A and B are shown apart, each in its own frame.
Chain A
Amino acid sequence: MITDSSAARRARLAGMTASAAAMVVLVSACGGTGGGSASPAKNFSYLSVTENTTVKTALTTLSKGACKTAQDAQPLKVETVPQASLDQKLQLLAGQNALPVQFAAGNAPALTQQLAGSGQVADLEKELKKLGVYDQLEPAAVSTIKALYGGKLDVLPYEYNIEGIFYNKKVFAANGIAVPGTWAELTSAAAKLKAKGIQPFSASGQQGWPLTRLISGYLYRSLGPDALKDVADGKAKLTDPKYVKAAAEVAALGKKGYFGKGVGSIDYDTAMNQFLSGKAAMLYMGSWALANIADPKQDTVGAANVGFMPFPAVTGGTGSIDQYPSNVGLGIALGAKSFDKNTGDWVSCITKNYGSTALKDQGAISGFKVNADVKDASEVAGQVRQTISSSKQNVLWFEALFSTKATTVSQTNAAGLVNGSLSPEKFMQTVQDALSSK
């Protein structure tokens, strides 16, 4: 009798515990998905990366001037994360349905495409046409975005950049170095500088991409503009000897000490600073650096002493020196679910005014039309702007068509390639493996 009743009680208690547990699970599960954006966004929230100050500054300027009305209806609120953790943050926010109104697109375009595929990113071609401001975008910028994002306008071109090598004119002149036109000339110029005790290049190995850009630069010159598309399409492998050659050339620069000491610990700001304070003669960078070059506080070399050259040709290669790597810098996407009238007002104001504001205040070039007369801040800024408007064919960068994983693997291993702890073969093999693992 006693055993019976206690068994029954046990069963009842077990049942109660189980159902209580189930209830809590259900309630917490419901709570998890409730954080969506059913109600209109109070703020024009913008998630950006810490490294980029151009967009943040220009948007703040606009919020006080041309876009005051939009600002009053939906105040701008900027939040930043380090670029290296951006992809992670976006994935977590997207998983919780909590993406901000406007956010820097992930380091790998593949991630933004994923977000777009799940309906989290606004189709900007449609929205801008609806707002009647689609013609405010530069066609070159639109085509670059479409090349990156599978034919869709997923991001706004807050920046439109070409990349190349900035050099210190004074140092070049003092050492009798002409602007190198070929890779061989570049390496001999570097050797000359190094012999004189001047660090030839400054590059951030911590970011990695300033190093892998050199590999892609070499590949585009030696194998032509389709070099990396062939890898993405599976027609070629990074481990093919002609691809490994590019990594070997870049590794050789590191082996000779052209990037200075401890390249793996150099962060973006330090690399920029080394060049702008005259400690290094050359810097591979995108034209967004014009904002830093125009700032006399950072640029002690002086904007007039900075020159810009395209990535040099590789003798016998099929690529051409005027195919500039181009990108939309930090592409910025808008959340699909929070895109309402207030956001539309902001976007339409930005497309009309951002181009001239960014250029006038910071010397930064965007993919928006410049609707006011702005004098170029410096000779180098004018040169870059001219190059952009006259360029016919552009190329992408090393990781542009890679998955998030391959992008990370490539950028975190780049310093190892340059400091000799990873052979060119092993580096390309590692990246290729990451690319092939699905």
Chain B
Amino acid sequence: MHRVLGDRKAVLILLGPALLVYSLIMLVPMVWSLGYSFTKGNTIQGFTGNGLGNFHRLFTDPAVREALWFTAKYAVVVTLGQVVAGYLLALLYVFFLKKASALVRTLVFFPVVLPTVAVGLLFQKFFQVAPQTGPVNSLLNAVGIGSIDWFGSAGHAFWVLIIMDIWRSMGFYAVLLFAGLVDIPEEVLESARLDGASGLRLVRHIVLPMSFPVLLSSLIFSINGTLKAFDSIVALTNGGPGNATTPLTLYMFQTSFTYGDYGYGSTIALLLTVVCLLVTLVVFRVSRRDLTKG
């Protein structure tokens, strides 16, 4: 084995194709996009140099600030929601439902396999106020609260989006964390129980530290996914009302493909890349320190 990996030709043959495909579909477009961020125009009009104009605009554009703030807010809330809900579900599977958890696991996982657009439409109908009153508003009416126009104000739309995204993905994190919890040796739990730890104390002092690495991986997964969220938002609110639920991804998409400004769109993409990179670096640092302990 060592001899094979020591041979440069073999390494090249093994790595080359994957590297080439990766370069072509990831690196080349990224560099290309970086180039575009110094230009102005689109494929219809052609491109002209714009120097640092787009970057200047990036720092003064209030829409970018709003989109960045929304992205951060959304990423933090959804990540916490997904991982906490997933962890609680996993605890439920392992310690409460035990062997009987297969059915519940399947049911909770089900939304993960549904197409995002279908889930978006489902929630639209669920929370709609007009032309028909949706189930949620009907429920509110039944307990004497007036209907709420869920997609009419920024605050409400944000929470519907959060609820939808957590519902949609908690099953995935539950299964991921379930795998981590199942891995905790039964003997450790048993001896902790013999020492008198039970319920919350068992979770707090034994289960949580022992499942920390997988919990951290879930966090990394989740934060990276939510920073780049696009499809669920487009399907549910399309960024609205106004631009109240527009994350950077959607703003970048609109700028490039709806407003026909590829240069500025690329600049926003660059900002998004930098944000993702920073977050990943921070998470990596934290994870390295804690993984050695855990």
Give the B-binding residues of A (Cβ under 8 A): 6, 9-10, 13, 17, 20-21, 24-25, 28, 84, 87-88, 91-92, 94-96, 111, 114-115, 117-118, 120, 260-266, 270, 273-274, 403-405, 408-409, 412-413, 415-416, 419, 421-422, 430, 433, 437
> Which residues of A lie under 8 Å from residue B261 when comparing CB positions?
405
- Of A13, A21, A95, A404, which is within 8 A of B20 by CB? A21
- Determine how close the nearest CB of chain A comes to the CB of B138; give it in whole angstroms: 13
- Of B62, B242, B257, which is within 8 A of A91 by CB? B257
- Of B8, B12, B152, which is within 8 A of A419 by CB? B152
B217 within 8 A of A: no
Closest to B155 in A: A421
Give the A-binding residues of B (Cβ under 8 A): 8-9, 12, 16, 19-20, 23-24, 28, 42-46, 57, 61-62, 124, 128-131, 147, 149, 151-154, 238-244, 254-255, 257-261
**Inter-chain contact B240/A13, CB cutoff 8 Å:** no
Closest to A86 in B: B258
**Inter-chain contact B8/A422, CB cutoff 8 Å:** no
- Of A88, A95, A409, which is within 8 A of B43 by CB? A95
In the complex the two chains form, what is the Cα distance from A436 to B286 in whole Å? 44
Please judge, given known A-B contacts A264-B241, A415-B152, whether A91 and B260 are in contact too, CB under 8 Å.
yes
Interface SS of chain B: loop
**Inter-chain contact B242/A413, CB cutoff 8 Å:** yes
In the complex the two chains form, what is the Cα distance from A266 to B238 in whole Å? 14
Identify 9 new A-B residue pairs, CB closer than 8 A, beyond the known A261-B147, A419-B152: A24-B24, A25-B24, A84-B238, A87-B260, A114-B45, A261-B130, A265-B128, A415-B240, A430-B242
**Inter-chain contact A264/B16, CB cutoff 8 Å:** no
**Inter-chain contact B153/A274, CB cutoff 8 Å:** no
14 A-B interface contacts by CB (under 8 A): A20-B20, A88-B258, A91-B260, A94-B44, A95-B43, A261-B147, A262-B149, A273-B131, A412-B239, A412-B241, A421-B242, A422-B242, A430-B242, A437-B57
- Of B43, B45, B257, which is within 8 A of A117 by CB? B45
In the complex the two chains form, what is the Cα distance from A100 to B243 in whole Å? 32
> Which residues of A lie under 8 Å from residue B254 when comparing CB positions?
408
- Of B28, B151, B243, which is within 8 A of A264 by CB? B151
In the complex the two chains form, what is the Cα distance from A293 to B28 in whole Å? 54
> Which residues of B lie under 8 Å from residue A17 when comparing CB positions?
12, 16, 19-20
> Which residues of B lie under 8 Å from residue A274 when comparing CB positions?
131
**Inter-chain contact A265/B153, CB cutoff 8 Å:** no
Closest to B131 in A: A270
Please judge, given known A-B contacts A24-B20, A118-B45, A264-B149, whether A404 and B154 are in contact too, CB under 8 Å.
no
